[in-house]
Chains A and B, each alone.
Chain A
Amino acid sequence: MIGFIKKDLFMIKSNFKLLGILIIAYTLMGFVGEIDISFILPFMSVMIMISTFSYDNYNNWDAYSISFPDGRKNSVKSKYVATVLMIVIVSIITTLLSFIISYASTKTINCEQILISMFGTIFGTLFVLSFMYPIIYKLGVEKARIGIFLIVFGLVFIGGFLTNYFNLSLITKAILFLEDYLIIILIIIAIIMVYISYKISERIFNKKEF
């Protein structure tokens, strides 16, 4: 599987410059006290990983990769591992920068807030990954973009409908009650979410014929 992960990382190496520029911009904006853009970087890394599907598709990599030992299995697994790695590494970098910026500008470090922000961002990006990858494997990256747009639109619509017509105070109370365990709960949900998503993608890919 290492080879497959390396291949994906080689494919996105040209995007590392862009990520570097964004990290510098984030640091500068942090120092001048502008808005917090730390969540953008991990989201960017997911979007960059999604772009590898287009290159793979253009050169029929998926079919070619099946000719390698354990190709069918590793093709999907490596995509998930590479994306999670990217998310975690970029999130750690932005968190470290947040600590430095916080200390340099206020001489104090708000550990709790920074860590909650990091876990929240990781959870959000893993949700995007878990949601999008099975759709990409099923429909292909081009069709998936339209599918994803429709599904997000549908979710926003349903969310708006529920908040307007139903009393959501019970959910708010439950969140407040679980506040102390929020990070652990988010981690557990994220692991389950990514695992289920991976299994669905694997199933789709295993049935695929090229």
Chain B
Amino acid sequence: MENILEIKNLCKTYDNFALKNVTLSLPKGMIMGFIGENGAGKTTTIKAILNIIQSYRGEIKIFGLDNRKYDKKIKEDIGVVLDDMFFPEILTPNDIDNTMKGIYKNWDSKMFDDYLKEFSLLPNKQIKTFSKGMRKKLEIATALSHHPKLLILDEPTSGLDPVARAEIIQIFQSFIEKDDCSILLSSHITTDLEHIADYITFINRGEIVLSKTKDELLDKYGIVKCTEAEFKKINKKDYIKYRKTKYEYEVLVSNKKDFKAKYDIAIIDKITLDELMVLMIKGEE
């Protein structure tokens, strides 16, 4: 399958944090959920993809092209929503429309106008008069209105109520259905990702600890809930992490079926992305 985004051995060092050999691939027509706790390296990775940070090592290819060499060409086909970065708030959606006409070759004013109507955003109101949710919708409308082939979204649904989130997710879904477009979506709201992501990539302390299809992850992975005595019988090789709670042990396993065949433990729950994150970060080995 053709990859629309490929990152190989991305490294970037700060005084108190480092991205270590981040490697991931996003196939064409797919949505990748990019998860991890605050400060894990999601935004730094996104900034490197977009060359907002420059002094990094490693290789980033978008549409098969080197992201530094073909920066201009690549960015014509990328739509972005970045956390806390946007147009100055004294501008109006109309100003944004007029500005973007002079920035993107494919800017589609009609499409932008349709999104404004769909999101009930007044074109002549200054951004500063919008609520947080309305601003997010405007950012999303701006990212989508030049027919991008790849969307890079950093926390696009934060600050939105469940109805608005469902609305936005629907829009993302229709976006990938046409023309084999792809989305890299970093989010804390993992329930959204459970609905739309095809792949899940999990970054922790600057390292990719897991990158799999969502179905494989949610179908095969599981949480074994057992007593201390039962836990002590489990071989270390058969689990990834465990956590001791007040009443039981929660053990993360990568293959529920194999585990069930090997051990006589009744409770093996399906895993959610939230539980996976907590166990991977807080669990012991």
Contact = CB atoms under 8 A, between A and B. Distances in A.
A64 B87 contact: yes
Interface residues of B, number: 33
Interface of B is mostly: loop
A60 B87 CA distance: 8
B229 to A, nearest CB: 53
A67 interface: yes
Interface string A1-39: 111111100110010000000000000000000000000
A59 B86 CA distance: 6
Contact of A64 (B72, B86, B89): B86
Interface residues of A, number: 29
A48 B127 CA distance: 20
A97 to B, nearest CB: 29
Contact of A58 (B75, B89, B103): B89
A3 B87 CA distance: 12
Interface stretch (A69-77, A104-112, A133-141, A150-158): A69-77
Contacts of A1: 102
Contact of A66 (B52, B55, B89): B52
B162 interface: no
Given A10-B91, A61-B87, A72 B98 contact: no
Contact of A55 (B88, B92, B103): B88
Contacts of B102: 1-6
B53 A210 contact: yes
Contact of A71 (B47, B75, B90): B75
Interface of A is mostly: helix
B132 interface: no
B103 A61 contact: no
B144 to A, nearest CB: 14
B274 interface: no
Nearest to B127: A59
Given A67-B75, A69-B72, A210-B52, A60 B101 contact: no
Contacts of A63: 47, 52, 82, 85
A63 B88 CA distance: 12
Contacts of B51: 66, 72
Given A6-B95, A56-B88, A67-B152, 5 more contacts: A3-B101, A10-B98, A52-B88, A60-B82, A64-B85
Interface of A: 1-7, 10-11, 14, 52, 55-56, 58-61, 63-64, 66-72, 207, 209-210
The 8 closest A-B pairs by CB, nearest first: A3-B102, A2-B102, A3-B103, A55-B88, A64-B85, A10-B95, A60-B85, A69-B75
